[in-house]
């Protein structure tokens, strides 16, 4: 499998090169030259196939021969070495819980997969690799955990000060060793712009070996397809293809699901459920792509005004908006609606959702109201404990602290504070890479 730049000004590269580079030299995102078609027997026998086997068979065409089969199987198995259950909430809606990994967020799968791939790729190198990433919430903790103490890899995480939850902040600022957190006095979009500028800085890239770990990186993005296969494996209604509602911020997760569908996975329709940052819902409604400055919400991991991965979704549908709208709908919801839905799910169905999962359910409920014969799945992308203030506000109760977090919450935070100034970031990156 080769990967080409969506800016079409760089030569195609292998999975290995795409993973190490993160972004093409022309600053475009990498995209596979072809979308592999799934073996029919895999789809027909999902319920009887081990999860590790599913993950390996899904990802193998994208990796090609850049990692030997035995190693790739091990990497795939380690990336999903925790439960991903489909939990019935109502007669027509089930929750795919993606928060049972080490950092209690869906991004654990992609971060673990990517870190292990990069660990393979840098073994023979003599230059330390710096992984640079911006986070609006859960990416930072997942990347920090996934890459912690991996030889030859240095990690720098930018996050907006005061705009991630206390648990999220602890997860990315307390590990030490090769993990470095930079606390930016600004928004996630400003953090993302600083990261993009760093990758575009040829002088900096000559000085340090730089790659990304956001979902712009193919090794972070592609394994997110696994979720949708595991959901279908547990889907018991053989007469109905599910509607899948995905809380969407940077659109990497839903893009992976759409890619899985394009490969042959039987999903009827996707809902991109957004918070007040409604660039994509407005685009699908008007045909005009007009990002505005992002706003802070309770579902902070989705506080993205310019979703990087939306261009990949457009590529899957060859830039044809009408074709895209046949498969994807998108709605936005307010913090007030989010809080009300957390309360409703808890009081009516005894199900505790985090703000992102609540928005996922809101999108699914909106669709199901207009399609009475459909049933669906919403993705619960983070453990409610990561959003204690929102949960307390919604149900007037504290969330029990998982045992795995007890030590984390007592750990000391370590971060480098800076303004959204590129020259300062460049200086920090060169210093940390030594």
Residue 401 lies in a domain: no
Residue 20 lies in a domain: no
pLDDT of residue 116: 92
- Give the domain range for residue 375: 83-105+221-395
- Which residues, other chains included, contact 416 with Cβ-Cβ below 8 Å and sequence gap of 6+? 180, 181, 182, 183, 428
pLDDT of residue 136: 78
Looking at residue 341, which CATH number applies to its domain?
Answer: 3.40.50.1100
Residue 127 lies in a domain: no
Catalytic residues: 107
46 DSSP assignment: G
**Order of all β-strands in the sheet with 30-32:** 13-14, 2-5, 30-32
pLDDT of residue 309: 95
Give the whole-angstrom CA distance, residue 168 versus residue 145.
12
Q: Which of 156, 160, 204 is nearest to 427 (CA)?
A: 204
Q: How many CA atoms lie within 13 A of 172 on its CB side?
A: 33
Residue 77 lies in a domain: no
- Number of Cβ within a 10 Å radius of residue 158: 28
pLDDT of residue 125: 65
Below-50 pLDDT ranges, the chain: none
Residue 413 lies in a domain: no
* Contact predicate 335/297, CB 8 Å: yes
Provide the β-strand partners of residue 30. Answer: 5
Q: What does the pLDDT look like over 336-392, one tens digit per residue?
A: 999 999 999 999 999 999 999 999 999 999 999 999 999 999 999 999 998 999 999
Residue 98 lies in a domain: yes
Q: What does the pLDDT look like over 169-203, one tens digit per residue?
A: 999 999 999 999 999 999 988 998 999 899 889 89
Apex 170 CA angle, 168 and 176, nearest 5: 125
Burial of residue 284 (CB within 10 Å: 0-12, 13-18, 19+) is middle
Residue 408 lies in a domain: no
pLDDT of residue 266: 96
364: part of which helix (H) or strand (E)?
helix 355-370
Count of structural domains, the chain: 1
Give the whole-angstrom CA distance, residue 225 versus residue 24.
22
Residue 233 lies in a domain: yes
* Contact predicate 15/218, CB 8 Å: yes
């Amino acid at each position: 499998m080769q990967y080409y730049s969506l800016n079409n000004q760089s030569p195609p590269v292998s999975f290995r090169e795409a993973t190490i580079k993160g972004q093409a030299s022309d600053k475009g995102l990498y995209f596979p030259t072809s979308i592999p078609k799934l073996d029919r027997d895999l789809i027909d026998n999902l319920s009887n196939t081990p999860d590790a086997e599913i993950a390996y068979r899904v990802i193998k065409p994208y990796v090609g021969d850049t990692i030997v089969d035995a190693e790739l199987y091990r990497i795939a198995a380690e990336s999903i070495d925790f439960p991903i259950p489909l939990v019935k909430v109502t007669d027509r809606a089930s929750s795919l819980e993606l928060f049972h990994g080490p950092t209690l967020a869906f991004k654990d799968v992609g971060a673990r997969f990517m870190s292990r791939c990069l660990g393979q790729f840098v073994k023979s190198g003599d230059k330390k690799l710096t992984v640079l990433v911006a986070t609006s919430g859960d990416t930072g903790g997942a990347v920090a955990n996934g890459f912690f103490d991996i030889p030859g890899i240095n990690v720098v995480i930018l996050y907006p000060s005061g705009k991630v939850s206390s648990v999220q902040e602890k997860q990315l600022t307390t590990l030490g060793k090769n993990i470095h957190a930079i606390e930016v006095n600004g928004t996630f979009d400003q953090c993302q712009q600083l990261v993009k500028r760093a990758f575009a800085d040829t002088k900096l890239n000559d000085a340090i070996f730089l790659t990304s770990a956001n979902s712009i990186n193919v090794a972070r993005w592609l394994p997110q397809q696994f979720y949708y296969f595991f959901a279908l494996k547990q889907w018991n209604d053989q007469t109905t293809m599910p509607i899948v509602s995905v809380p969407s911020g940077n659109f990497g997760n839903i893009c992976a699901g759409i890619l899985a569908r394009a490969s042959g996975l039987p999903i009827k329709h996707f809902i991109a459920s957004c918070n007040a940052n409604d660039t994509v819902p407005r685009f699908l409604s008007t045909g005009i792509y007009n990002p505005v400055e992002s706003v802070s919400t309770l579902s902070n991991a989705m506080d993205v005004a310019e979703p990087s991965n939306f261009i990949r979704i457009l590529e899957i549908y060859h830039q044809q908006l009408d074709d895209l709208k046949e498969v994807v709908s998108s709605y936005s919801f307010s913090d007030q609606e989010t809080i009300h839905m957390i309360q409703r799910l808890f009081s009516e169905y005894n199900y505790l959702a985090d703000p992102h999962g609540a928005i996922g359910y809101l999108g699914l409920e909106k669709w199901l109201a207009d399609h009475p014969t459909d049933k669906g799945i919403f993705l619960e992308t983070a453990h409610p404990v990561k959003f204690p203030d929102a949960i307390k506000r919604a149900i007037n109760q504290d969330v029990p602290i998982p045992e795995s977090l007890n030590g984390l919450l007592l750990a000391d935070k370590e971060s480098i504070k800076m303004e959204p100034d590129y020259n300062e970031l460049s200086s920090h990156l060169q210093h940390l890479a030594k």
